Amino acid sequence: MPQPAPAPIKPVAVTDRFDQKLIAAIVLKGEQPAPVWSIVHQIVADEGPANRSNRRQLCSRLLCRLRGLLRVGAIERVNKARVRLREPVQPPPPTALPVPPPLKNLPPTPPATVTEWVTFRGGGQRKVVFRV
């Protein structure tokens, strides 16, 4: 008996400490769009990597986390080099549905009676003809 197919993997938004640092750096800029490379270099300088190789790895990791935040929709790109926090989307205010106008000049329909149900036939033809 074949094994059942495994359930598909659901995407999960994983957050790490660099997500929080990126968002905090963008919040510090306020309403103005924040330059991507300035934010990345600022966080790298705060981390203080031991050598050039670690610095490059940290830069690439921060850029990867930045792309993830863009994909999730936490931030949005203003132009090629700047980003900002996405404004929360507010749902539209509820509106009342329009009331349809009453129909005029139509006689009221009589309720269905038992005698009408007897005359109903279903299932197609009663006689089946086979032709050879």
The hierarchical CATH code for the domain 17-85 is 1.10.10
- Asked whether the beta carbons of 94 and 100 are under 8 A apart, the reply is no
> In the structure encoding, which two tokens stand for residue 42, read together?
């600022």
- What is the rounded CA–CA span in Å between residue 59 and residue 76? 20
Q: What is the DSSP string of 8-37?
A: PPPP-----HHHHHHHHHHHHTTTSPEEHH
- What is the rounded CA–CA span in Å between residue 39 and residue 29? 10
Is residue 43 helix, strand or coil? helix
The pLDDT assigned to 24 comes to 92
Can you give the residue ranges of every domain in the chain?
A: 17-85
Q: Residues 100, 103, 108, 112: is their CA dihedral positive or negative?
A: negative
Tens-level pLDDT at each residue, the chain (132 residues): 678 777 766 655 566 889 999 999 999 988 889 999 999 999 999 998 899 999 999 999 999 999 989 988 889 999 999 999 988 767 777 777 787 787 777 777 777 666 555 555 556 556 666 665
If you ran DSSP here, which 8-state letter would residue 126 be given? S
- What is the rounded CA–CA span in Å between residue 115 and residue 110? 13
